[in-house]
Amino acid sequence: MKHRPWLIGLIFTGSALAAVAQTTISSTTYGSSDNLTVSDSTITAGPNVTVSSGAVVNFRATTSITLSPGFTASSGSTFRAFIFVDSDSDGLPDSWELQYFGSTTGASAAANADGDGLTNLQEYLLGTNPNIANTNDASNTTNLKVHRP
């Protein structure tokens, strides 16, 4: 298998981010039972990072995602890298805020618009509608019930 380095990124002009958060993953193997999303401003995956067959791994960043030579996504795995615009730097993509709240400043990541116990950021990461409470009620198609210890 031939490995290629990839750099995916956006350059922002005008308003800069106040603080840049970064996640660096240096040596990790995501196994077949892993299904996770890594979200940060900048994500860097080192040469000893492997996404094994059956694993589902999503990287979501607002600035850049760097996959170093040696990063491996095995056959049968699902690896996705997303760069999104977040003009108000709240962790929620502008496109998502527009879809559910009508403006890019219409929601706070920490708010709970539908009162279901999940923040708007958690709703975004789970792929659920932040305006519909996620329970196991018959009227809700997501069938997600939140249990807290």
Per-residue pLDDT band for 16 (boundaries 50, 70, 90) equals very low
pLDDT at 9: 33
Give the start-to-end residue ranges of the domains of the chain: 6-83, 86-149
CA distance 30 to 13: 35
pLDDT at 26: 86
pLDDT at 112: 92
Sequence-distant (≥ 6) Cβ neighbours of residue 56 within 8 angstroms: 34, 35, 36, 77, 78
CB 130 within 8 A of CB 120: yes
**Which one-letter amino acid corresponds to residue 55?**
A
pLDDT at 134: 74
Section 120-134 average pLDDT: 86
> Please, what is the average pLDDT of the chain?
77
Section 114-123 average pLDDT: 88
Per-residue pLDDT band for 148 (boundaries 50, 70, 90) equals low
CB 93 within 8 A of CB 84: yes
Q: What is the pTM of this model?
A: 0.56
Section 3-12 average pLDDT: 34
CA dihedral 98, 99, 100, 102 (to 10 degrees): 40
Give the HSE-up count for residue 121: Cα atoms under 13 Å, Cβ half-sphere.
13
Residue 96 three-state SS: helix
Per-residue pLDDT band for 11 (boundaries 50, 70, 90) equals very low
| Model confidence pLDDT, tens digit, residues 28-79 | 999 988 888 888 778 999 889 999 999 999 888 878 899 999 999 999 999 9
131: DSSP letter: T
CB 74 within 8 A of CB 53: yes
Give the HSE-up count for residue 58: Cα atoms under 13 Å, Cβ half-sphere.
11
